[in-house]
Chain A
Amino acid sequence: MGAIQNKTGPARGPFFDGESVTRPCWSCEHDGDDLYNCSNCDKIQHFLKDNDYFTWFGFDHSLSIDQDALEKQYHTLSRKFHPDYFQQRTPEEQTISLENTAQLTQAYRILKDPKKRVRYLIGLIEGDKPMEAEAPAELFEDIFEIQERLETLENIRAEDAGQEAVRQELKNDLEKMQAYHDKEDVQLNRLAVEWDSLEKSRNKPTFSDEQKAHLQRMKKILSHEGYLDRIIQNIQSALEKNK
């Protein structure tokens, strides 16, 4: 397991400052803003440090992405960067090819998945803070009851009367939680559509306050969903285990 060669560029401003960023080519020192290859010597370049996943794929920061276009662009970029094509090149080029491809596959994995895409966009604006799972306030009471029922089920024996009743109650809980999750999804989709229209009409280099407020609301929904996912999973595995 060898360490990978490390190469860092000079510090740059935030990705959304709208100014064009340049970097000297690591090989010929030509100063350019070329996304992928140096326009002077054609050597492969590191991704511009402060460009983000959306930019690499040539997209704006809309949340709806044409999956076919995404895949096509992913294939095009893979053909540009993949280590298979750099096997016979210099170690520097091989390293850049490896690191760029590693980032590219990660970017594709995230952009492909609508939820991961929103989460990534939030991270871009807020910095990499972990997102806490949080229970929706209006479900506090239900969740409290669910916890109790899960405990009861854990301590009850299969032949005991009442087990079936608890199971049935938990099944109802499961449905309720799933329905709430679906409702949150609808809400999330609506916000994403609104975000996109705000993004399309954006004429300033920075995101508007309204956009940021939208992201906050989406963040709230994601943290609710994170919590719901966990509770749904808990109910499912309890029902499975205590059959």
Chain B
Amino acid sequence: MSQVVGIDLGTTNSLVAYMDGATPRVIQGESGRSMVPSIVAFDQDGNPDHTLVGDLAKGKLIAETGRTIYSVKRFMGKGREDLEEADIKQVPFKLVGGEKEALRIQIDQRLYSPPEISAIILRALKQRAETHLGSEVTQAVITVPAYFNDSQRQATKDAGRLAGLDVIRILNEPTAASLAYGLQKTKQGIIAVYDLGGGTFDISILKIKGGIFEVLSTNGDTRLGGDDFDQRIVERIREDLLKQYQIDLFELPALRQEARLVAEQVKCALSEQSTAEIVLSLPNKKGIYRREISRKEFEASVQDLVDRSTGPCLQALADANLKPEDVTEVVLVGGSTRMPFIKQAVENLFHKTPHSELDPDEVVALGAAIQANILSGDISDLLLLDVTPLSLGLETMGGVVSKLIPRNSTIPTSGKEMFSTFVDGQKNVSIHVVQGERELVEDCRSLAKFNLTGIDPMPAGMPRIEVTFLIDADGILNVKAKDLRSGRAQSVEVTPTYGLSDAETEAMISASMEHAKEDMEKRQRIEVQNEAETVIRHTEKALKQGKDLVDANEQRSITTALAELKEALSRENPAAIREKLNRIDEVTQSLAEKLMSRSVKEALQNKRLDNI
């Protein structure tokens, strides 16, 4: 069996690791660097053969501003309304997408979904691993921030599929880090993992005991990371340039990009030394901008960002029912934890010196490689028990959320709920699933609408459909429904609010294949034909059974509709079949209701109460 790799798909950098015997190792590229910048650069024709990834793409950030995509992780699984104006202004590439639609990135005349961009990065990592291992890599564990919601996880999984990887697990980054520490250092105790990456912040509290890593609670902020710290320096530069040169940085994408890169370097330098110099050469022969910045000055400008991580830490402790003293070890993860005052803040919070023995940039990928080996069956003494970061709820009357699975529930986990109909003869029931901690649907995040279809028409309130919501080990929601009267599985149609539908992902995967479109059409045709055949059978049966219940007019319109449907079916025209199916639906409505009420009456007379 081929090796399963562990991938840390980061906001700014990505890594791939594998298990070399019993030791997890990050795979380096030709240059000897283990980190691949999460950047993709397209050429003006969008020719995939000319698309650059990583360090090469980073080199295009300034020259090809609008075609070079970075920090795409910030947009994974999101819709337009998830973003603030500032998020959109901050990046030099164009984001498009309407209400309740997954975001797309527009480059020249082409649109890319965030998973497609991520897939390009994943493909590069896959290739890197294949070159190093000398064999094909088809399976991977990919990490995500613990506080990622369902759509963001799903989008990450989609990216893997698009890259030709079977994503056997979506793993939380802090949990992965704890695994790396657990394998090499911490064997027992309560540990807090403080993970401040390029774009996201997570805090997880775990209990390690006898090889079992049980996450007690997790919290975080999916829009707080190193990028925001860089931004503060950029703002400082912008103010200066406005005052001194009357140049608005935000109107010059290339210069702005350069300022961002300089800011990142300056931030890193300030972790080592007490002052650093910002140097930026200005366009149009305006000379060179220089400015000295001290660590103190920088720290003061980002104090609020550091403070923003405190709330989630305290909440995670409270949710785990622990006090800071109960935590035996604190582990730092993510490049941003190299900043000395972050270390200090964490120390103040938990009253102990945090660990950073393992490289904070690599530790997540190392943990992912360990989990990959657990899943391959090579390691059996370690087991991760992770949690879902957000409560799962259902929309009820008046837009109120009824919570079904509370946050910090160990996954996999499930919740059941009973559904029925409100109107006589109702055949569909729609269920709206949301994620979040607030009371009102409008304050939570819409995950998906589930449509229970094909319910046998019955008087209102009679159908009993049990719906099981299951959050799997990836933290992704699965839904199944069962009709309790018939014991049959009930079909469920899913419309994800954001992200790609299964059909969309399929379509993208086969986009390069010639027959993709034909395949889709063929499948749709077969589906509608099957449905038509079933409906014809049922209608004919109902007509026989309910002869005495319909008048001549009704009888005629049903037989006509039936004949038309058969005709459309023989022509194999999906659109026409669909239209006639709807027609039959209309004309048989009253017959179905009458038949049902008769069978209910009969049942009552026969006192077959157990069947009701």
Contacts and interface: CB of A to CB of B under 8 A. Distances in A.
Interface in A93-151: 98-99, 101-103, 105-106, 108-109
Contacts of B472: 83, 98
Interface string B286-297: 000000000000
A87 B168 contact: yes
Interface in A47-74: none
B210 interface: yes
Chain A interface: which size bin? 20 to 34
Contacts, number: 86
A87 B383 contact: no
Nearest to B472: A98
B559 interface: no
Interface stretch (B93-101, B184-192, B408-416, B538-546): B408-416
A167 interface: no
B383 A99 contact: no
A37 B380 CA distance: 18
A75 B487 CA distance: 33
19 contacts: A1-B496, A2-B502, A4-B480, A6-B480, A8-B487, A78-B383, A78-B385, A83-B472, A84-B473, A85-B377, A88-B375, A98-B470, A102-B412, A102-B413, A102-B414, A105-B411, A105-B413, A108-B410, A109-B413
B279 interface: no
B262 interface: no
B380 A85 contact: yes
A186 B377 CA distance: 49
Nearest to B207: A71
A143 B220 CA distance: 39
Contacts of A101: 412, 473
Interface of B: 154, 168-169, 209-210, 212, 374-377, 380, 383-385, 409-415, 448, 468, 470-473, 476-480, 482, 487, 489, 492, 494, 496, 502
A4 B414 CA distance: 12
Contact of A83 (B412, B415, B478, B482): B412
Contact of A75 (B212, B409, B412): B212
Contact of A99 (B411, B448, B470, B494): B470
Contacts of B415: 106
What 7 A-B pairs have minimum CB-CB distances, sorted nearest first? A102-B414, A105-B410, A102-B412, A87-B375, A105-B413, A4-B480, A6-B489
B558 to A, nearest CB: 33
A6 B482 contact: yes
A82 interface: yes
Contacts of A87: 168-169, 375-377
A89 to B, nearest CB: 9
Nearest to B474: A83
Contacts of B414: 99, 102-103, 106
Contacts of B479: 1, 3-4
A3 B473 CA distance: 15
A98 B169 CA distance: 13
B412 A98 contact: yes
A74 to B, nearest CB: 9
Contacts of B473: 82-84, 98, 101
A6 to B, nearest CB: 5
A88 B2 CA distance: 12
Contacts of A3: 478-480, 489, 492
A131 to B, nearest CB: 14
A160 B350 CA distance: 43
A212 interface: no
Contacts of B494: 1
B262 to A, nearest CB: 43
B540 to A, nearest CB: 29
A79 interface: yes
B377 A102 contact: no
A149 B477 CA distance: 44
B169 to A, nearest CB: 8
Interface string A6-24: 1010000000000000000
Contacts of B212: 75, 78-79
B477 A88 contact: no
Nearest to A97: B412
Contacts of B480: 3-4, 6
Contacts of B492: 3
A8 B487 CA distance: 9
B490 to A, nearest CB: 10
Interface centre among B212, B479, B482, B494 (most CB of A within 10 A): B212
B409 A1 contact: no
Interface centre among A1, A78, A98 (most CB of B within 10 A): A1
A84 B374 contact: yes
A199 to B, nearest CB: 27
